[in-house]
């Protein structure tokens, strides 16, 4: 876990300070009267914050850099989304509810404008699901560690041992964060009476890439690109062009989260999304011809999983694995 430990506490202080300043500056930017000014300044704040934190942590471990960059990116985009919300709704939200919006992973401020007098009946189910999936994720990470230790003990090729341990490690980390922690946090907000929704909705059931990216995987990310990029652009360019640019923006965000922390592998996550964009266009073309890939569910699932898994080494490239993922369980191949 040394990849996630900064060299000095001052870098933690810098990260916390930046993550506090971004929302506050974004709050005041959203109060401006001119829509163009709001958009320009909120985007400048998001981009400038990423550039600053990248330079400020340039010599820090890659895992710590990734954590900080993702945090800054989250709050920078929340400022963009909040400005877009104010432009569209022509009103702000009360300060307390604005604070709550920044304590949730989702990107819809209006969720915190309404509160039930009692908890949602399904809140306990979110807690139970989150806890079970958190434990399952931890078990997979421990399995990955065991595979690595087993391979080293019996003198496997170190590269083979690392590759064998990588699949349960990546899946385990996803279960811990995406299906464990996120469900627990969702359950907490629903317990308080806020209509926060599950952000990852049985992605394994997807029968097309369009379904996977559009309705099942990381809805906070979908909201971010839809509200921050697609909707504003669709007012000035064609819907098809706006959709293409929004998907391209998804690739940029993954470059920031995956390649920038290690300062290597630039362009590979973007290539992953370009390939998916081509495949999704093919899906829509087939649907227009009356032959949707999802017509036969098992075929659609094989198609979807193949596109997700086969090019995955492009998304999670070697420098990212070596400097951020593998150190979590002590994998070293050199």
pLDDT in tens, 278-313: 999 999 999 999 999 999 999 999 999 999 999 999
pLDDT over 70, % of the chain = 100
Instruction: Determine the pLDDT at residue 333.
Output: 84
Instruction: Determine the pLDDT at residue 235.
Output: 86
Instruction: Determine the pLDDT at residue 304.
Output: 97
Tell me if 171 sits within 8 A of 203, measured CB to CB: no
Instruction: Determine the pLDDT at residue 247.
Output: 84
Instruction: Determine the pLDDT at residue 3.
Output: 86
Other C-beta atoms closer than 10 Å to the C-beta of 283 total 21
| C-alpha pair distances (Å), 151 with each of 161, 162, 233 | 5, 9, 51
Task: Report yes or no on 64 lying in a domain.
Answer: yes
| C-alpha pair distances (Å), 305 with each of 81, 140, 147, 183, 250 | 31, 20, 24, 23, 19
CA distance 41 to 33: 12
Q: Is 90 exceeded by the pLDDT of residue 190?
A: yes
CA distance 109 to 36: 20
Q: How is residue 51 written in tokens?
A: 């550039």
Task: Report yes or no on 84 lying in a domain.
Answer: yes
Task: Report yes or no on 3 lying in a domain.
Answer: yes
Other C-beta atoms closer than 10 Å to the C-beta of 293 total 22
Other C-beta atoms closer than 10 Å to the C-beta of 238 total 10
Residue identified by tokens 């506490």 is 9
Coil, strand, or helix at residue 29? Answer: helix
Q: Choose between 102 and 2: higher pLDDT.
A: 102
What is the overall mean pLDDT for the chain?
94
Coil, strand, or helix at residue 145? Answer: helix
CA distance 53 to 74: 13
Task: Report yes or no on 182 lying in a domain.
Answer: no
Q: Mean of the pLDDT values across residues 4-14?
A: 94
pLDDT bin (cut points 50, 70, 90) of residue 155 is: confident
Task: Report yes or no on 61 lying in a domain.
Answer: yes
Task: Report yes or no on 211 lying in a domain.
Answer: no
Task: Report yes or no on 9 lying in a domain.
Answer: yes
Instruction: Determine the pLDDT at residue 15.
Output: 95
- Structural domain including 63 reads 1-114
- Cβ neighbors of 93 (< 8 A, separation 6 or more) are 85, 101, 109, 110, 112, 113
- Cβ neighbors of 8 (< 8 A, separation 6 or more) are none
Q: How is residue 105 written in tokens?
A: 């992973």
The domain total for the chain is 1
| Residue 94: DSSP 8-state | -
CA distance 73 to 230: 18
- Cβ neighbors of 293 (< 8 A, separation 6 or more) are 207, 208, 283, 286, 287, 299, 300, 303
Burial class (CB in 10 A: 0-12, 13-18, 19+), 17: exposed
Task: Report yes or no on 254 lying in a domain.
Answer: no
| C-alpha pair distances (Å), 67 with each of 58, 146, 166, 175, 301 | 13, 26, 20, 17, 32
Q: Is 80 exceeded by the pLDDT of residue 65?
A: yes
- Cβ neighbors of 288 (< 8 A, separation 6 or more) are none
């Amino acid at each position: 876990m040394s990849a996630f430990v900064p060299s000095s506490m001052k870098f933690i202080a810098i990260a916390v300070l930046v993550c506090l300043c971004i929302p506050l500056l974004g709050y005041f930017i959203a109060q401006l009267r001119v829509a163009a000014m709001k958009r320009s300044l909120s985007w400048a704040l998001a981009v400038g914050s990423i550039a600053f934190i990248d330079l400020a942590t340039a010599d820090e471990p890659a895992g710590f850099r990734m954590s900080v960059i993702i945090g800054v990116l989250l709050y920078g985009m929340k400022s963009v989304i909040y400005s877009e919300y104010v432009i569209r709704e022509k009103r702000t939200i009360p300060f307390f509810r604005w604070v709550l919006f920044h304590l949730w992973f989702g990107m819809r401020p209006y969720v915190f404008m309404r509160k039930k007098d009692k908890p949602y009946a399904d809140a306990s189910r979110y807690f139970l699901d989150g806890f079970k999936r958190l434990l399952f994720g931890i078990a997979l990470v421990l399995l990955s560690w065991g595979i690595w230790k087993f391979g080293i003990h019996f003198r496997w090729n170190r590269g083979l041992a690392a590759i064998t341990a990588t699949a349960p490690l990546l899946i385990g980390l996803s279960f811990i964060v995406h299906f464990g922690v996120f469900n627990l946090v969702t359950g907490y907000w629903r317990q308080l009476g806020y209509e926060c929704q599950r952000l990852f909705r049985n992605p394994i059931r997807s029968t097309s890439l369009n379904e996977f990216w559009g309705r099942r995987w990381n809805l906070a990310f979908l909201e971010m690109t839809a509200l921050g990029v697609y909707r504003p652009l669709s007012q000035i360019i064609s819907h098809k062009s706006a959709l293409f640019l929004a998907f391209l923006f998804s690739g940029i965000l993954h470059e920031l989260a995956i390649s920038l922390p290690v300062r290597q592998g630039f362009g590979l996550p973007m290539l992953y999304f370009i390939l998916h964009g081509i495949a999704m266009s093919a899906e829509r073309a087939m649907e227009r011809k009356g032959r949707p890939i999802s017509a036969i569910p098992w075929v659609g699932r094989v198609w979807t999983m193949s596109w997700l898994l086969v090019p995955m080494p492009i998304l999670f490239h070697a420098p990212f694995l070596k400097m951020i993922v593998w150190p979590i369980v002590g994998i070293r191949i050199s």
